[in-house]
Chain A
Amino acid sequence: MADKRILIVEDSPTMRQLIAYSLKRLSGVSIVEAGDGVEALKKMATETVDLILTDINMPIMDGLKLVSLVRGDARLRNIPIAIITTEGAAEDRERALALGANDYIVKPIQSGRVLAVARELLGIS
């Protein structure tokens, strides 16, 4: 089976590493990392991505802007996106889902939840 590529967009290197470490337990998955929305778009211009996991609060370009740009791009719009954020209010969740995010994970980070969402969005049993 070809590798599924997951793009982690998060400004904290510690968090990127934590999320990547959780996802390494999925077989046939490789990780691409970006520190903000702009870097993520640059990576997606040259690399194929099967899933995006993004934080909301990031410098330069936040996660919500990234979601709306991805959904507005004909080449990228079908990539599933999950938000991983500290923003736990219901309205934040609704806003992200309305913009086109497929799932919403709140911090503190729980590896089991991240894995379950990644499996579901990638269609891995």
Chain B
Amino acid sequence: MSSEEEKGLTSRADEFLQMFKKGAEFTQELMKENERLRYRILQLEGELQGNDITVAMAEENRLLAARIEELEQEKEEILRRIRQIETENNDFATRYVEIEEENNNLANLYIASYQLHSTLDFREVLQIITEIIINLIGAEEFAVMLLDEKTGFLGAVAAEGIALEELQKVRLGEGLIGTIASTGENFFAEDPEGYVRDLLSPMVCIPLKIKDHVIGVIVIYKLLLQKRSFAPVDFELFTLLAGHAATAIFSAKIYADSERRLSTMQGFINLLTR
């Protein structure tokens, strides 16, 4: 082999070696790039998965917030309802007390009227009226005055805490008592605690009426120590009791008159038939 040929062969071997080195370097680079891309793929896959969780959590949060809002509204509604029920309960309790009181008053009135109509004895009727005025109305000094239609004067027939003789006769239409007997309207002093006793001007004057016909009055001068003023129910009670008292007195008087007449007639008959 000539030296020329030897040089050419060496040169090609160098070229081949260079090419091989470059090929090896290129392969190395490709492998590195491949590694880097794989790592990036893994990274992106991880990010993608993280995004899914975040989205799911956000959705869950939104649903929970909506539920909390719903429950808050429900709680508000329940609290409102509880307040309403509490108010209703208070109303019912108040109403119950009122009805209980009305029931008691009706029972008292029933018994009082039952007692008033249980006898035709005039004195007994007056005694029952007196007991009712003391025990149910709470008066300490009072009188029952009846109208004598022949003379037009009102005179006391029963009294408590005052002597009967102290009470003057009153002409119908005159003074407070006479006016009340004439008009048939109830009278109550505006300030019972400040009232000063005046036998012609009582603290309370209630006409004893049968329909519109006045047969007398109940006059009150002093209440019991513990009864300082009138309760709203007293005004009704007074009127209702006065109505029953009036019919009881009227019936007893008619009965007493008829008994007297019967006795007189019996006397005549006995005289005639003797």
Interface residues of A (CB under 8 A from B): 12-15, 17-18, 21-22, 86, 88-89, 106-112
> Range of interface residues on chain B?
20 to 34
Q: Are B107's CB and A108's CB within 8 A?
A: no
The A/B interface has a contact count, at CB < 8 Å, of 57
Q: Kindly state the separation between the CA atoms of A89 and B132 in the bound complex, as whole angstroms.
A: 21
What residues on B are CB-neighbors of A18 within 8 Å? 107-108, 111-112, 135-136
Indicate with 1 or 0, residue by residue over B101-117, a CB within 8 angstroms of chain A CB atoms: 10010011001101100
- Of A22, A86, A88, most buried by chain B (CB within 10 Å of CB) is A86
Minimum CB–CB distance from B3 to chain A (whole Å) comes to 137
CB closest chain-A residue, reference B104: A111
Q: Kindly state the separation between the CA atoms of A21 and B136 in the bound complex, as whole angstroms.
A: 14
Q: Kindly state the separation between the CA atoms of A112 and B233 in the bound complex, as whole angstroms.
A: 15
Q: Are A22's CB and B104's CB within 8 A?
A: yes
From residue 118 to 132 of chain B, which have CB atoms closer than 8 A to chain A?
128, 131-132
Known pairs A107-B135, A108-B227; list 15 more (Cβ under 8 Å): A12-B135, A13-B115, A14-B112, A15-B135, A18-B108, A21-B111, A86-B138, A86-B140, A88-B226, A88-B227, A107-B138, A109-B108, A110-B104, A111-B104, A112-B104
Q: Kindly state the separation between the CA atoms of A22 and B111 in the bound complex, as whole angstroms.
A: 11
What residues on B are CB-neighbors of A112 within 8 Å? 100-101, 104
Q: Are B224's CB and A86's CB within 8 A?
A: yes
What residues on B are CB-neighbors of A88 within 8 Å? 224-227
20 residue pairs A–B, Cβ–Cβ below 8 Å = A14-B115, A14-B128, A14-B135, A15-B131, A17-B114, A18-B107, A18-B108, A18-B112, A18-B135, A21-B111, A22-B107, A86-B224, A88-B224, A88-B225, A106-B226, A107-B135, A108-B227, A109-B135, A109-B136, A110-B104
